[in-house]
Chain A
Amino acid sequence: MYSEKVMDHFSNPRNMGEIPNADGIGEVGNAKCGDIMKMYLKIDNGIISDVKFKTFGCGAAIATSSMATELIKGKKIEDALKLTNKAVIEALDGLPAVKIHCSVLAEEAVKAAILDYLKKNNIDPMVYGIENTEGCTGCCSACEV
């Protein structure tokens, strides 16, 4: 059902934990649906110097969170914002169709944490081309394939 990469990131999650006094924190998802992702960012000179996550959810939710942190660590904000759920899926060597929404949640968690950083620093999200600041709750079937 899951690829070896998914099982690896599930069993040995990278960057799991919290960052005290994080520069940006994003939390997406909904306990009712069984998925919550919380992403912590440390940002220095526009670069994500550290990232940690905490996730309540299934194996895919934990693995996509872990992979998303790896993909954005050390990246510039504008590059981290380009992270797509597809990139997360590819990096994990695929996900079962019913788990695609977990990768969407990971993408949204990264965006939410960056938005939080921008708001705290009074930076207009439009500088980075972000128009929709609502995001999704990760609790619908719309993303499911």
Chain B
Amino acid sequence: MIVYADNAATTKIDKQVLDAMMPFLTTAYGNPGSIHQKGREAFLAVDSARSKVASAINANPSEIYFTGDGTEADNWAIKGVAHKYSKKGKHIISSSIEHHAVLHSLKALEKEGYEVTYLPVDKKGFISVSQLEEAVRPDTILITIMFANNETGVVEPIKEIGTVAKKHNVIFHTDAVQAVGHIPVDVKEMNIDLLSISAHKFNAPKGVGALYMRKGIYLPPFLDGGQQEGGRRAGTENVASIVGMGAAIETAIKEMPKRSEKVRMLRDRLWKGLTEKIPHNIVNTPEKNNLPGIFNISSKYVEGEALLLSLDLKGICASSGSACTSGSLDPSHVLLSIGLTHEVAHGSVRFSLDHNNTEEEIDYIIEVFPEIVAKLRDMSPLWEKVDK
């Protein structure tokens, strides 16, 4: 049995999404920039997808710009605002749990002389809105705080952050890659100026994303070239993937109540099953204000990569915040930010579910994972010192 429980990494393309894309990989191969009928056919398809993405977040189609991925949208938003408003100031506020697409964009700006305040988060992963407000200065030009975290599933108080940003007349960008298509997102109600989307996180293909840019905020192009995307994002449109994104987001919005109820039920079943069967565990996902599908648990005295390899041998695909999977000596910055010690962070595993998962699969994880933890603990010199 193969159990795919890594949907925060990427998702399976829905069948109806692939069906919607197929014509644009076969017969409808026109360039949307061409004036002839093949071009018009592609142009209309891109236009229709734009409307679907816009309506999913309560934006206008003219405020949606397709990009290569979520990372490009984050880079464009953050560097775009920084460079355009550098005369007003060079101060940016962010959080300590952002995705690397945001963190490394900020690091690049710091090298250029910008100053970044990284707000800490509490043990459950939430930023403090009052701390945010205290951090705002006359030279603050951007607040960039993620909508929902990819590792723990914490959902930040976006509407309150948007209110603070509006009150102080600071542009607000949010990396909503994990949120869009999974939980309600409303850019108007939440006072969001810029928002990053990644299609492959909601059952669409890889290689396409979008940046929502509120009317009135005109960032300079991130890629120079042709007149695509209103002259703001040059490069021939990835038509088939954009069509897939439109089809996927339309379904995700329509099915959201049903899907999120199912996914939440599965996740809570996993949560209960694993916490009951694994002694000395720490749950890193907050009980409230979380994404429906993410469950992050640290099993003390064992290491995450060894857990993942063992899970993989049993056919279960998951992910970890251990140093061994991060490619550095330090474990996940997100888990350290919520106060885990290095030792405990190394032993974390993230299971991320979607509507394709079944109860049978969850029960299989609940059966297998505690056995793996027990086996690795038997091997661990740390475990023998523990008072059981």
Contacts and interface: CB of A to CB of B under 8 A. Distances in A.
A10 B343 contact: no
Contact of A34 (B309, B322, B379): B322
A61 B309 CA distance: 12
A62 B323 contact: no
B382 A56 contact: yes
Interface string A27-48: 1000111111110000000000
Contact of B381 (A38, A98, A141): A38
A56 B342 contact: no
Given A34-B322, A34-B323, A141-B329, A10 B306 contact: yes
B382 A36 contact: yes
A12 B192 CA distance: 53
A10 B309 contact: yes
A54 interface: yes
A58 B379 contact: no
B381 A32 contact: no
Interface stretch (B39-47, B77-85, B297-305): B297-305
Interface string A49-79: 0000011111111100000000000000000
A11 interface: yes
A31 B300 CA distance: 11
Contacts of B190: none
B324 interface: yes
Chain A interface extent, by class: 20 to 34
Contact of B343 (A32, A60, A62): A32
Contacts of B383: 56
A11 B306 CA distance: 10
Interface string A70-103: 0000000000000000000000000000110000
Contacts of A16: 378-379
Given A11-B313, A98-B327, A36 B342 contact: no
A53 B104 CA distance: 40
B303 A54 contact: no
Interface centre among A11, A31, A55, A98, by most B CB within 10 Å? Answer: A31
A13 interface: yes
Contact of A62 (B306, B313, B346): B306
A21 to B, nearest CB: 15
Nearest to B377: A56
A59 B310 CA distance: 9
Given A36-B382, A38-B381, A57 B323 contact: no
Contacts of A31: 342-343, 346, 382
A56 B329 contact: no
Given A34-B324, A38-B381, A57 B303 contact: yes
A34 B302 contact: no
Given A34-B303, A34-B322, A55 B379 contact: yes
A59 B306 contact: yes
B381 A58 contact: no
B227 interface: no
Contacts of B322: 34, 58
Interface in B302-357: 302-306, 309-310, 313, 322-324, 327, 329, 331, 341-343, 346
B363 interface: no
Contacts of A55: 379-381
Given A11-B313, A56-B301, A59-B305, A34 B346 contact: yes
Contact of A56 (B303, B309, B310, B341): B303
Interface of A: 2, 7, 10-11, 13, 16, 18, 27, 31-38, 54-62, 98-99, 139, 141
Given A31-B382, A54-B381, 14 more contacts: A7-B313, A11-B313, A16-B378, A31-B343, A32-B341, A34-B322, A34-B324, A34-B343, A56-B382, A57-B306, A58-B305, A58-B324, A59-B306, A59-B309
Closest 6 CB pairs of A and B: A58-B305, A58-B324, A38-B381, A34-B346, A54-B381, A32-B342
Interface of B: 301-306, 309-310, 313, 322-324, 327, 329, 331, 341-343, 346, 378-384
23 contacts: A7-B313, A10-B306, A11-B313, A13-B379, A31-B342, A31-B346, A31-B382, A32-B341, A33-B323, A33-B329, A34-B303, A34-B324, A54-B379, A55-B380, A56-B302, A56-B383, A57-B324, A58-B306, A59-B305, A59-B324, A62-B306, A139-B329, A141-B329
